[in-house]
A and B are shown apart, each in its own frame.
Chain A
Amino acid sequence: MSIETLQAPVVNIPVRHKRSRARSVGLHAALVLASLIAVFPVFWVLVTSFKPDGRAVAPTIRLFDESSLANYGDVLSGQQGDFLAWVANSVEIALLTTVIAVFLSATTGYAVSRFRFPGSRKLLLSFLVVQMFPFAVLIVPLFNVLLTLGLQGTSIGLVLVYCTTSVPFCTYMLKGYFDTIPADIDESGRVDGLSPFGVFWRLVLPLARPGLAVTAFYAFLTAWGEVAFASAFLSASDESKTLAVGLQVFVQQNRVEWGHLAAASILVAIPAVAVFYLVQRFLVAGLAAGAVKG
């Protein structure tokens, strides 16, 4: 007994790798099933995107059914609504929102991370509370503000609206990232005679580049996929829509063009998925770190 106990830590490591055959099969079966469920809807959209609209709703399902690239051609050439204009609008709105939000929130994230000043806790709490805001509480007054400013229905108006959520969000994420940069760096900078701004600008910001990139990408993706405000605030004309609004056109007004919708969806999803996989590793850490310490 005592010998076994003594040996346990040494023996332990190889033992952990050993798993009975049945348990190993069960483990992989569970993960394969979960992966299938995770991937299938996307795979199904991909399959459907090659089928003509009529075949996409066929009562017997086949993987390939008169499949071709015709849907992609139609979508890109603008036969089914001005797809390229939607892309341009989505990119413009998401990009502007991201640049403004990251630019504004970097300094604040740093200040909240490093300095204990009166009000810093309250400020941090307010970011958390804003995350809680249902869009419903701001939608009417923001609509009113945009009407007054004459920005209702424009991209700039929507950018302003998105800043209400993305600025607090970016601040939160960046605060989490700045927390991971050792404060010794700041102190040595101060010893070398840099001002607090100098430390931030010359030392911390360059080190925080990965954090800035992740935050920016995530803010971009959030604006890219937003539905409620975009549906309500953009004008009805086809060329002012974003993708999230434009794609709804395919399934409205009794013209359900599933094949074309699927092709458009794939075109939208590819860049989003690619960017997402680049940044996801840092994303969870940022979200969790920012939130836990609030």
Chain B
Amino acid sequence: MRRSLQRHWYAYAMVAPVVVVLAVLVLYPLAQGIWFTLTDINESSIANPVLDRPASYSFVGLRNYLNVLSGDGSYGAFWGTLVRTVIWTASCVVLTYGVGLGLALLLNRPMRLRSLYRVLLILPWAVPVFISAFAWKFMFNSQFGVINQLLGALGLGQPVWLGQTDLALVAVVIVNVWVGVPFMMLALLGGLQSIPADLYEAAEVDGATPWQRFRDVTLPGLRSVSGTVVLLGIIWTFNMFPVIYLVTGPAANPNTRILVTYAFERFFSGASRDYAVASTYGVLILSVLLVFATFYRRALRRQEAFA
């Protein structure tokens, strides 16, 4: 230990500031957050120095977990919400990846106006998410929104997009895919450009069809980039808050409720500021993601070992 300290002291000194920040701002709050899930802390029992009020919450054991995991409606119908979160995450990531890969393949060839297309296609990433959310909320409006006007002009139905139906979930998925495609596209484009051109030439010489070239050269070449961006996409989408919160409005729509938006609802919405339940949701979300990420990385590594 001492030897390691002697040899690496400068490395430790350089790392120290960030470790301190992580300890104070992440690890300590995390520990406290886990502790809160075992209490009945809420707006009226949290310590508030401004009101000169000491903390008055108490230990309740695993009651919060039992309440939440029972799937009871008054605790956010956990299992139903989890299923909706998974559907939301899967459809967003699959669509974003598919569209992103398609556009990257189109852009990855010499042609006219290529850089113009590139600049236009990444605009959704450049605009702050809260602005995009407002723009789509405006366009999805059932009476004056441009989307329904367009559907009407084409003689199609004019649905209420953001009402209390599953259509609202479709709408927020569309918004999130629109927001997420540019990052996928650029990351995959970078991956495509790093595939050596002679691999394609060799495949062509061997008489491979375009589909075979895609399957046997492009996809394996993209494996490491794909593994990373899909993992990032899943984590970001699972935790995606602003799109749903701002598009469906602060008065939460149960049809677009995912785990994080419900946690925020419990933390923030006027009537029931139940900090204990909000924390319980936070810990459960984190557990789901950690378990998933562990399996994902293991699967990825196994795949690499076989390749």
> What separation, in Å, do the CA atoms of A117 and B139 have in the docked complex?
53
Please give, as numbers and ranges, the residues of chain B lying within 8 Å of A75 by CB-CB distance: none
Indicate if the CB atoms of A108 and B282 lie closer than 8 Å: no
Q: Is B78 at the interface (CB under 8 A from chain A)?
A: no
**Which residues of B are found within 8 Å of A225, using beta-carbon distances?**
128-130, 242
Residues 110-122 of chain A, each 1 if its beta carbon lies under 8 Å from chain B, else 0 = 1110010110100
A18 CA to B26 CA in the complex, in Å?
56
Give the shortest distance, in Å, between A57 (CB) and chain B (any CB).
Answer: 4
Task: Spot the interface stretch: B11-19, B89-97, B163-171, B212-220.
Answer: B11-19
Q: Interface extent on A, as a size class? A: 35 or more
B-binding residues in A (CB < 8 A): 5, 8-9, 12, 16-17, 24, 27-28, 30-31, 34-35, 37-39, 41-42, 44-45, 48, 56-61, 104-105, 107-108, 110-112, 115, 117-118, 120, 123, 126, 129-145, 147-148, 150, 152, 160-161, 163-164, 167-168, 171, 195-197, 200, 221, 224-225, 227-228, 231-232, 243-244, 247-248, 251-252, 258, 261-262, 265, 268-269, 272-273, 276-277, 280, 283-285, 287-288, 291-292
| C-alpha spacing A225/B242, complex, angstroms | 9
> B178 contacts which chain A residues (CB < 8 A)?
37-38, 41
Chain A CB within 10 A, most for which of B49, B127, B285: B127
A277→B115 CA distance, assembly (Å): 13
Judged by a CB distance under 8 angstroms, whether B192 is at the interface is no
B8 located at the interface, meaning its Cβ lies under 8 Å from any Cβ of chain A in the complex: yes
User: At the interface, yes or no: B183 with Cβ under 8 Å from chain A?
Assistant: yes
Q: Which of A115, A129, A136, A261 has the most CB of B within 10 A?
A: A136
Given the contacts A123-B19, A136-B267, A163-B25, A115 and B11 also touching, CB distance less than 8 Å:
yes
Report yes or no: A272 in contact with B128, Cβ–Cβ below 8 A. Answer: yes
Residue of B nearest to A36 (CB): B120
Residue contact B278 to A284, C-beta cutoff 8 Å: no
A280 in contact with B278 given A135-B239, A141-B30 (CB within 8 Å): no
Report the separation of the CA atoms of residues A195 and B13 in the bound assembly, to the nearest whole angstrom: 13
For chain B, the bracket of interface size reads 35 or more
In the bound assembly, the distance between CA atoms of A141 and B34 in angstroms comes to: 9
A140 in contact with B190 given A134-B260, A272-B127 (CB within 8 Å): no
Q: Which of A5, A34, A252 has the most CB of B within 10 A?
A: A34
Contact indicator B14/A16 (Cβ below 8 Å): no
Q: How far is the CA of A57 from the CA of B184 in the complex (A)?
A: 34
The answer to whether A272 touches B126, judged by C-beta atoms less than 8 angstroms apart, is yes
Complex-state Cα separation, A280 to B125, whole angstroms:
10
- Encode contact with A along B128-156: 1 for CB under 8 Å, 0 otherwise: 11111011111101011010010000000
Contact indicator B146/A104 (Cβ below 8 Å): no
Checking B4, B113, B135, B249 against A42 with a beta-carbon cut-off of 8 angstroms, the contacting residue is: B135
Instruction: Please name all residues of chain A whose beta carbon is closer than 8 Å to the beta carbon of B107 when the two chains form the complex.
Output: 31
A228 touches B123 (CB 8 A): no
Interface residues of B in 250-299 (CB under 8 A from A): 250, 259-260, 263-264, 267-268, 275, 278-279, 281-283, 285-286, 289-290, 293
Contact of B124 among A38, A196, A283 (CB under 8 A): A38
Known: A141-B36, A150-B49. A276 touches B278 (CB 8 A): no
Minimum distance in angstroms from B89 CB to a CB of chain A? 12
Task: Check A244/B30 contact, CB under 8 A, given A44-B138, A291-B228.
Answer: no
- Option from A8, A120, A140, A150 in Cβ contact (under 8 Å) with B204: A8
Residues of chain A contacted by B87 (CB below 8 angstroms): none
CB pair B120 A284 closer than 8 Å: no
A140-B18 CB under 8 A given contacts A251-B134, A269-B128 = no
Partner of B33 from the list A61, A112, A138 (CB cut-off 8 Å) is A138
Q: CB distance A35 to B30 under 8 Å?
A: no
Selected contact of B186 from candidates A160, A168, A280, CB within 8 Å:
A280
A134, B285: Cβ atoms under 8 Å? yes
CB distance from B239 to the nearest CB of A (A): 5
Shortest Cβ distance from residue A155 to the other chain B in the assembled complex, whole angstroms: 16
Contact: B33 with A104, CB < 8 Å? no
Task: Determine the distance from Cα of A111 to Cα of B15 in the docked complex, in whole angstroms.
Answer: 7
Question: By the criterion CB–CB under 8 Å, are B130 and A197 in contact?
Answer: no
B144 and A59 within 8 A (CB): yes
Contact B239 A110 (CB under 8 A): no
| 7 A–B contacts, CB within 8 A, in A order | A108-B18, A139-B264, A163-B25, A248-B250, A280-B122, A280-B186, A288-B191
Q: Is B69 an interface residue when CB atoms closer than 8 A count as contact?
A: no
Check B12–A117 contact: CB distance below 8 A: yes
Question: Do residues B242 and A227 form an inter-chain contact, with CB atoms below 8 A?
Answer: yes
B235: chain A residues within 8 A (beta carbon) = 131-132
- Answer yes or no: B211 CB below 8 A from chain A CBs: no
Determine the distance from Cα of A17 to Cα of B235 in the docked complex, in whole angstroms. 39
Given A285-B190, A291-B232, output 9 extra A-B contacts at Cβ < 8 Å. A35-B120, A38-B121, A115-B11, A132-B286, A139-B267, A142-B29, A227-B130, A228-B245, A280-B122
B30 and A227 within 8 A (CB): no
